[in-house]
Amino acid sequence: MGLFKVKNIISFISMAPSFLKSILRKVPFYVNYDLTWQCNLKCKHCYFFSSTTELNSKRKELSNEEWIKIFKYHKKLGTKIAILTGGEPTLRTDLIKEAIKIFSSVQVVSNGVMKLPRFKGQKQPKYWVSLDGTKETHDKIRCAKVFDKVLKNIREFHPVVTSAIMTLNYKEIEDIAKIAHDNGASGLVFQLYTGYPHDPLILKGEMLREAIKSILKVMSKYGNFIFYSKKMLELYLSKEFVPHCVFKVGQIKSFYPDGRQKFCVMGNSPLLCENCGCVVPIAAYALFRNFDSGTVDKARKLFNFPK
Ligand code: SF4
Ligand code: SF4
């Protein structure tokens, strides 16, 4: 398994000393903020809206000032990285601008429909943009004709492309990799669809086997452009990471737009864990617990970890 090899540990330590400091000081290294309930899409697979229905929320949204107070509090604790999600976080561009002033690194996960904001005279956030397949499949999943707009943003901003793989698009993994690569994305991250038990979008049996085969194929074709390692695939299948998930142990915290802490970025229920394909706890387990050098190499290329 290559567990605890000296080479792996050295490689891990050299990647991100700040990670180690944050673990030792028990400070969340990342904090994920859902900035807004608003979204300009209504996608078929939206985990965000399914988790908010479950909450029966009154949809209060924190003001800029209230969010800034929280950002500063976490920054003071020692948090280095803010991950801004939603809804669609670019609908609160002013707040992205404020987060950039506060955190060492800001990552914004967008559906890529609106032109991604650039901030004059400031460092830029790292954008993650979703792509679900070829034009036809992407637009079908997103329930809107938005593929061309997403592609334009990928060409102009070179974001990391993120792709949720489910029963609707698992046959297009190679297409997704080619589109992302040929249009200038800086990397591609697969998220194997996470859902409640019996959700028809979850990959199982032959469909899952086919998806894994295609992921392995694109990993070998595109190398470190694909942020998924063999160890991560192993962990996704075994679910060994679940009891140690970084959200459960507090290394990453996640908040709804009204400031309430939620169970994890995927939603607000432990029922999701059984079918979790979220890349964050999988990668973290491969890095922190397994010191897997294959994952370290990919993480180093894709993320600019702050010192
Ligand atoms: S873009 Fe994201 S938040 Fe908006 S509906 Fe689609 S999956 Fe949900
Ligand atoms: S669903 Fe996944 S990310 Fe969320 S707590 Fe469970 S294992 Fe962690």
Output the furthest CA–CA distance in the chain (Å, rounded).
51
- Strand 261-262 versus strand 252-255 pairing type: antiparallel
Band of residue 251 on the pLDDT scale cut at 50, 70, 90: confident
Q: Which atom of ligand 2 is nearest to the CA of 241?
A: 7
210-232 average pLDDT score: 96
- State residue 47's pLDDT score: 80
Long-range contacts of residues 208-212, Cβ cutoff 8 Å, at least 24 apart: 208/170, 210/170, 210/171, 211/165, 211/170, 211/173, 212/237
Minimum mean pLDDT among 3-17, 93-107, 186-200: which range? 3-17
CA distance 180 to 192: 17
- Stretch 212-237: mean pLDDT, rounded? 96
User: Which of 48, 50, 54, 194 for a ligand 2 pocket mutation test, highest count of atoms within 8 Å of Cβ?
Assistant: 194
Task: Give alpha helix (H) positions in 58-134.
Answer: 64-77, 93-102
Average pLDDT over every residue of 161-166: 98
Mean pLDDT of all residues in 59-88? 94
Residue at token pair 């010191």 = 291
| Per-residue pLDDT at 268 exceeds 60 | yes
Angle between helices 93-102 and 64-77 (to 10 degrees): 20
Question: What's the pLDDT at 298?
Answer: 83
Q: What was the pLDDT predicted at 29?
A: 79
| Residue 184 or 10, more confident | 184
- Quick one: pLDDT band at residue 54, thresholds 50, 70, 90? low
**Mean of pLDDT values over 256-268:** 91
State the pLDDT at residue 130: 98
Answer whether residue 2 shows pLDDT above 50. no
* Domain residue limits, the chain: 6-300
Q: 6-300 has which fold?
A: TIM Barrel (3.20.20)
Quote the pLDDT of residue 32.
Answer: 95
Does residue 9 surpass a pLDDT of 90? no
Q: How many C-beta atoms surround the C-beta of residue 177 within 10 A?
A: 25
Nearest-atom index, ligand 1, CA of 111: 1
Q: Which residues contact 296 (CB under 8 A, 6 or more apart)?
A: 8, 11, 12, 15, 287
- String of b and e for 130-162 (b: at least 16 CB within 10 Å)? bbbbbeebbbbbbebebbeebbebbeebebbbb
Which tokens sit at 202?
Answer: 């979850």
Determine the distance separating the centroid of ligand 1 and the alpha carbon of 39, expressed in angstroms. 6
Binned at pLDDT 50, 70 and 90, residue 10 comes out as: low
Q: Rounded distance, CA 32 to CA 13, Å? A: 24
Tens of pLDDT, residue by residue over 17-51, are: 565 566 656 667 789 999 999 999 999 999 887 76
Mean pLDDT in the chain? 89
Amino acid 1: pLDDT: 40
Average pLDDT over residues 63-76: 97
pLDDT at 4: 47
Q: Is 70 exceeded by the pLDDT of residue 52?
A: no
Which of 43, 114, 150, 193 to probe ligand 1 with, by most ligand atoms within 8 A of CB?
43
What spacing in Å lies between the alpha carbon of 121 and ligand 2's midpoint?
Answer: 37
Q: Ligand 1 mean position to 206 CA, how many Å?
A: 28
Least confident of 11-15, 78-82, 137-141, 147-151: 11-15
Residue 306: band (very low, low, confident or very high) from pLDDT cuts 50, 70, 90? low
